[in-house]
Structure formats: C-alpha cells, structure tokens
Chains A and B, each alone.
Chain A
C-alpha cells in the first residue's frame, strides 16, 4: 500500500500551548479512497493535529506535504485551496445567517445566492442530505447544523475531509445516515479522517486506524487486522483491566426521589421527559446515555439551577420526612440544611473561577458563612492547603490561578472542595473527562470513599466500562426519557448500548 502517494503526509509535527505539548513529533499519512479513524483519548491531541491541517493553528515544528508537495498552511484559506475541509466539533456557523450564506462564506467572486442554492441542492441530491438553503442557522437542530457544515466543505470541493467527533451529537439513525454518506464519499475517491474515541464506530466505518496518545503518534493499522482490545491498548498505553473498586453499599436509604420530572430548555425543547428514579445513600447511581440526552439538565435540576416544568424532586431525611427541592435555588437548598455537592461538567466555567486562586475558589462554597460583612480568608486558605496535600494537587502554590493548573489538578481542586463540606448528596458530571489514567483513579477512589461514608452519589459518565465497574445501579437515559435502570454488577454492555439508543426497548 505504501507506494501510493499519500494525500497528506505529516512529518515531525509539534505544537505547544504554553507549557503543554499538544502534539510532539507526529508523523502521519492520509490516503485517498480511504476512511481513516483518528483514535485517542480526550486530550490526546487529535483535534489540535487536525486543526493544524485545516489552518486554525500553525505548527511550531514539522512539515506538511499534500499529494507529495511540501506546503505551508498558514490559514484556513490555504487549507481550502489545498482541498482540505474540516467539520469541527463546535460548529463554525454564523447563527444569524442562512444555510446558503454560511456555505458560501469565505469564497471569492460575485455573491449569487440563487446559483449557490442550486449547487447546494445538487450536492444534497448526490449524497442524500436534507438542507433548506434559506433557513437561518439559529432555527436548526444540531444534526441539521452538522449537515450544513458537511455540505459547506463539499461545496468548496474538498478532497480531504476531516470530521471531529461528528457522532457525539447525533441519534443512532442520524449516525447511520452520516456513515452512509461518508462511505459514498470514500467511493468518490476522497480522503476522509474521522476523529473519534468510540470503538464501534471505528470498527463499522473505517478502513484504517491511527492512534494518538498524549500528543504522540503511536501507530496505525488496517481496521480489519485489528480489534477493539488492541486499539484500546494503543490508546491508553497499557492493557486496560480497569479494575475500579466497587465496595458493597452500606446503610442504603432513599435520599433523593425524583418523580415525573419534565424540563424544557430555554428554546422550549423537551430535555427531560417524565423522569422518575430514586438515588440512595451509600450507593453510586451511574447515569449513562449519549451526550446531550438530558444528563446536564437532570443534575442541574436537582442542584436548583434548572427551571422545571413539572414533577417533583424530594430530599429525604434520615427520619423519612421529605422536602421538595423544586423552586429553590442553591442558596435556599443549603439554607434548608440539605448538604448537596455538585461537580459540574464545565469545571472552569461553572465549578471554579479560572482567574481566581485556589483559596478564593475554595471560598466559593463558604464565603457567606458568618454574620460579618467581610469574608473569612483563613479557613479557605487552610482548606486549599489540605486539599493540595491530601489529593496531591500539583500547583506552584495556593495563590496560583486555577486556570494555570492541568486538567487533572483542576478537577482535584473542584472535587476536593465539593467533598470538603461532608455532603449527603454528591452529583458529578463527567468527573474524569480529559483526565489521565492516574488522576481518573484518584477521582474514582474519592467517589468511592464518599459512597462508603454514606453519601448518595449520582455519577454521570460517558465511558460505559467505567460506569459498569463503578456504579451500583445504572440509569440509562435516551432522549430525555429513562429507558431503564439496571444493576451495575449484572449489567451487560450490549444491553446498555441498546437502551441508550432506544427508550424502553421501543424503537423510535
């Protein structure tokens, strides 16, 4: 195979952001008529590498060849000119413009939207997309927006297509549709790169797999010659036998009772539909589901951050008396004596303040205590010191802004603060996302300790293997509905996977 001229050849590519090496010395090839899956954990540098190919970033070192010719890609414009198109995970669309206007954005020549519309419709017919060229982006669903992105890239005549985690936001049906389109394009002799960390997608779609780990290129192989286990090993660097401890639950009591909870987001879209379950003390309740299925809304509703349309969320005291949490903000919930901690998904945008130092971040939860109009600076400082010591946070000092810490250390600071208040309920969203293996295990241990201390833990996760090894029970969400609750010790991967894509066994 190696006498083909690669469509793209990367040699010795390195890129640093401040002290962090996002990519170091990457050598990689991309071929036409082939779907390449670029595989790697979160933070392994997949997106950064592809951003350099699409002109968003400029490499610190290294060379790029397109069709055997050395090139410089200094801007996205250069990338188009070379036939490279990328569909980013966060869509690059202008909300107030129409689909057609977005698609022709950045091209040269006279603006002729009629002609453009015609060409868009041709592309749609060829590959089977459905796009209304005159629809405004802000009126579109996520999958419609993604379609616009792909059409945009094709409209420009891209020969080399890069898709960054395209399925994260799609339903299974939409995913299958997308894959069919991608296969058609491959047969059209285009070079296609799909960034992902979902094994089954790699297996069902790609021809070849390339693996990145911690910014380094580990290697590639033909998909048909490998298997999920080998790929996972390459991805994480050692054989994964996760072996997360799962102590037996003790003193199990009902703690949070959610009944018929229905939530709509600001745009009026139904995010949670008649959700009911009970979380118990001394137990970890895992929540599984493809991202955006209502996990965020569920946790935020319990934490008092989400407006609820109907239903009830009750906190049950040890003596069995229940108190309604709906309609109360976090402060009121705290004032009621309900000790509830929340490790949100967006660590630096919600859980912590990036520009504040460790001590000031500790203060977020406690600054109101006491009657004095002034803040108590000493206790948070001590708390920060003990969190740093106990959780082995790597930081230059207590007065360092947390945004300068690495992802794992940021999370330790956040979790450390949240468990410091000895909560009765602990909500965590994607607690190990972007963390290295060691930090992840630290977090699992912390969560397990909370469980053993009698805390009711609700753990929203994305990695099924982790969920199945850590949780006592797993609640599976699909499109805002509960498709079932299974025992974590007896759960079966395929069963949960099926539940994630279909409510209660009913296909949509």
Chain B
C-alpha cells in the first residue's frame, strides 16, 4: 500500500521545480515563443543562485559574521533572477529581434545553459576545495528550506501543507497570479492575442515585440527560480553537476499536459512530481527493479497522449497558441 501522507510531501517538493518551469514556459509560449531553452535557463538560474550563495557564505567565513536571513535569501534570489533574465534576453534578441529559428535557438540555449551550470558548478567545487564532487551551502540553504511554523505540531496536516520552504508557496502564488493575469486582465488578453495572431495584435496597436520580450523574460525568470528551489531547498544547498537532470524537459511537457493553463499546472506538476518518484513507492521487489524505469516513463507517455488527444479533438481553445514557433515580421509580404 502506498502511504499518501508520505508520498504527497515528496511529490510536492518534486513538483515545485516543474511548476516554476511550466508556469514560465506557459507565459513564454502564450507570446508565441516556443522556448526549448528552458532546461538551460533552469540550470543557469540554479547556478547563478548558487554562485551568489557561495560568495555570500565565503564572505561570512572571512568576516566571521553571523548569517543575516534577509541577505541569505535575497542574494541568491537576485542572482538567480538576473542570470535567468539574461538568458531570456538572449533568447528574445535572437528570436524576436533577429527572427532566428526558435527551435535551434532554444536547443543552443539548453546546450549553453547546462554547460554553464556544470562548468561553474565544477569551478566552485574546485575553489571550495571539497573532496566530494559537490558544494554544500548549508548556511543559506536552511533559510530556503525552513517550513512554516507549527508544521511539526499539526501532524499530517502540517506535513502535507506547511512543511515546505517559502519558494514552494511562492511557486503556487506565481502560478495563481499568472492564471489570473492570463484570464482576467488586459495584459493577459493582449499576450494571448500576440501568441495567437501577432499581425492582428500589431494592427490593434499592441506592441508585439514588447510583449514577446516581456513574457519570455519574465517566463525565464520564473523558470530560473525553479532551478534555485531545486538546489537551495530540495537538494539542501548541495550542487552537484547534472543532478537537476531532465526536469526542464518535463516542465515543457507539463505545458502541453495542462493545455497552457498555469492553474491546472499547480496540480499537474505535483502529479508529475509524484509520477517522477512513484517508482520509489511502488513495491517492485528486488527482483524487478527494472519496472521502476517503466514507471518513470509515465509522465512522458501521459503527456504524449494528452497532446495527441487535444489535436484529435481539435477544440480550438485547447490548441497550442497558433503562432507558436513562428517569427513575426510586420512587413512580410
């Protein structure tokens, strides 16, 4: 029997990076940009935060000062946002301003981002002189992973709802916020119009370029936070190369799975998080460890099925934004 009290909190912590990634990518795709660079962006976000935290901790060791909770959180976060923002700007410059192919640009960004993360991760490991191939940032990380007060005292309720670091709650807030923006506000309406039909949006006086830049850069920053959450909270401040794995791609899969809706993504990412680790909880017995690998396949298979079914049903609201992947040039004739 699967113990849900145990599984749910684990699924949530697995799901949070996916939620950040998918919320960011949904905003990006709503503007018509298919950013396959999200895995790279999440790596860059993570390592930027790690670099910030690393130097903050170094300065603490040097001066002997006690850690300041505010700085310990803000420095890594700002570094993370800045790193992801730069990636977003790069993507936009190439695909929007220079109208380059989005798939190719995205893949190049992933190559670059993952390399960037692992390279600087590796370099920091060298600087820190550790004998294991990872850096532990326990001082700053404890501010990230601190749960809410009373979490321990409220039994299963505390465990399921209150035991997470603040970035987990922020992820949900951002997703809810993004959903409201998309559905209820003028900005959201304009963004959807840009992704559906940029020529129409343009002729309606909407700054297509500005919206594409804005949505993509904000999307990248949100996705970057997912990387930050992963190292600082989930991994307890331990950076090791390639540990983040393929979560970035899973986040892109989630976008399809949730048919471009951030509010659905809150539940879907927890579901995917659960599926991602389900294999640990389904008793396979020592003789059939291989079945675990099949369980890990489930999120991707489910996403593929959702993708095919939505295209079969051909319901207009559930389709990808119509201009997804296409560059826009006003004077195209």
Interface residues of A (CB under 8 A from B): 17, 54-57, 75-77, 79-80, 86, 88, 92-97, 101, 104-111, 136, 138
Q: Please determine whether B206 and A111 come into contact, CB atoms closer than 8 angstroms.
A: no
Q: Contacts of B185 on A, CB cut-off 8 Å?
A: 110-111
* Minimal beta-carbon separation of A317 from chain B (angstroms): 42
Select from chain B the residue with minimum beta-carbon distance to A90.
B199
Binary A-proximity of B64-76 (CB < 8 A = 1, otherwise 0): 0000000000000
The distance in angstroms between the C-alpha atoms of A56 and B201, with both chains bound, is 11
B103 interfacial by beta-carbon distance below 8 Å: no
B316 engages A106 (CB within 8 Å): no
A75 to B199, CA, bound (A): 12
Given known A-B contacts A92-B200, A97-B193, A75 and B205 have beta carbons under 8 A apart: yes
A111 CA to B188 CA, complexed, in Å: 10
Cβ contact within 8 Å between B331 and A57: yes
Interchain CB contact under 8 A, B199 and A92: yes
- Whether A106 pairs with B196 at a CB distance below 8 angstroms is no
Q: Which residues of B contact A56 (CB under 8 A)?
A: 202-203, 330
What is the CB-to-nearest-CB distance from B127 to chain A, in angstroms, rounded to a whole number? 50
Check B184 for interface membership: any CB of A closer than 8 A: yes
Chain A nearest CB from B189 CB (Å) reads 6
> Are A104 and B203 within 8 A (Cβ)?
no
Shortest C-beta distance, A95 to chain B (Å), equals 7
Q: B: which residues have CB within 8 A of A?
A: 184-186, 188-190, 192-193, 196-197, 199-207, 316-317, 319, 322, 330-331, 333
Does B190 lie within 8 Å of A106, measured CB to CB?
A: yes
Q: Which of B196, B206, B331 contacts A97 (CB 8 A)?
A: B196
State A75–B207 Cα separation when bound (angstroms).
9
> What are 22 A-B contacts with C-beta separation under 8 Å?
A55-B203, A55-B205, A56-B202, A75-B205, A75-B207, A77-B205, A77-B206, A92-B203, A93-B200, A96-B192, A96-B319, A97-B192, A97-B193, A101-B189, A105-B200, A106-B193, A106-B204, A106-B205, A107-B186, A109-B186, A111-B188, A136-B316
Which residues of chain B are within 8 angstroms of A106 by Cβ–Cβ distance?
A: 190, 193, 201, 204-206
- How would you classify the secondary structure of chain A's contact residues: helix, strand, loop or mixed? loop
- Checking A80, A86, A92, A97 against B189 with a beta-carbon cut-off of 8 angstroms, the contacting residue is A97
B205 near A94: Cβ-Cβ < 8 Å: no
Query: In whole angstroms, how far apart are the Cα atoms of A17 and B206 in the complex?
Result: 24
Q: Which residues of A contact B333 (CB under 8 A)?
A: 17
- Of the candidates A79, A80, A94, A107, the one whose C-beta lies within 8 Å of that of B192 is A94
Indicate if the CB atoms of A110 and B186 lie closer than 8 Å. Answer: yes
| Cβ-closest chain A residue relative to B188 | A111
Take A57-B331, A105-B193 as given contacts and tell me if A96 and B205 are in contact as well, using a CB distance cutoff of 8 Å. no
Establish whether residues A92 and B316, one from each chain, have CB atoms under 8 Å apart when the complex forms.
no
Rounded to whole angstroms, the CA-CA distance of A88 and B202 in the bound complex is 13
9 smallest beta-carbon distances between A and B, as pairs: A106-B204, A77-B205, A111-B186, A106-B205, A92-B200, A105-B204, A76-B205, A92-B203, A94-B196
Q: Which residue of B lies closest to A54 (CB)?
A: B203
- Shortest beta-carbon distance, A499 to chain B, in Å? 36
- Asked whether, in the complex, the Cβ of A96 is within 8 Å of the Cβ of B189, the reply is no
Task: Please determine whether B316 and A96 come into contact, CB atoms closer than 8 angstroms.
Answer: yes
Number of A-B contacts (CB under 8 A): 78
Q: Provided the pairs A88-B203, A95-B316, A138-B316 are in contact, do residues A105 and B196 lie with their beta carbons within 8 angstroms?
A: no
A80 touches B316 (CB 8 A): no
Shortest Cβ distance from A101 into B: residue: B189
* Alpha-carbon separation in the docked complex, A251 to B104 (Å): 61
A108 to B333, CA, bound (A): 30
Extra inter-chain contacts (7) besides given A92-B203, A110-B186, CB under 8 Å: A75-B202, A77-B205, A80-B205, A97-B189, A105-B189, A106-B206, A111-B189
Task: Give complex CA distance A105, B204 in Å.
Answer: 6
* Cross-interface CB contact of A96 among B186, B188, B206, B317, cutoff 8 Å: B317
Chain B residues whose C-beta falls within 8 Å of the C-beta of A94 in the assembled complex: 192-193, 196-197, 200-201
- The distance in angstroms between the C-alpha atoms of A56 and B333, with both chains bound, is 12
The distance from the CB of B192 to the nearest CB of chain A, in whole angstroms, is 7
Among B190, B193, B201, max chain A CB count under 10 A is at B193
Min C-beta distance of B190 to chain A, whole Å = 7
B190 touches A105 (CB 8 A): yes
CB distance from A50 to the nearest CB of B (A): 12
- Shortest distance in angstroms between B197's beta carbon and chain A's nearest beta carbon? 5
Question: Closest CB-CB distance, B234 to chain A, in whole Å?
Answer: 37
The distance in angstroms between the C-alpha atoms of A96 and B323, with both chains bound, is 12
In Å, the complex CA distance between A86 and B322 comes to 24
A20 and chain B: residue at smallest CB distance: B333
* Residues of chain A contacted by B192 (CB below 8 angstroms): 94, 96-97
- Contact residues in A for B193 (Cβ distance below 8 Å): 94, 97, 105-106
CB neighbours of B206 from chain A (8 A): 77, 105-106
A179 to B202, CA, bound (A): 28
Q: How far is the CA of A96 from the CA of B193 in the complex (A)?
A: 9
Query: Which residues of A are found within 8 Å of B201, using beta-carbon distances?
Result: 94, 105-106
CA distance A457 to B189 in the complex (A): 50
Contacts of B330 in A (CB 8 A): 56
CA distance A105 to B189 in the complex (A): 7
Contacts of B189 in A (CB 8 A): 97, 101, 104-105, 111
Closest-by-CB residue of B relative to A138 is B316
Chain A: minimal CB distance from B326 (Å): 15
Cα distance A54–B188 when bound, in Å?
Answer: 25
Given A94-B192, A97-B196, A76 and B202 touching (CB < 8 A)?
yes
CA distance A56 to B203 in the complex (A): 7
Q: How far is the CB of A411 from chain B (nearest CB, A)?
A: 17
**Which B residues are CB-close (under 8 A) to A101?**
189
Given the complex of chains A and B, what is the CA–CA distance between A56 and B200 in angstroms? 10
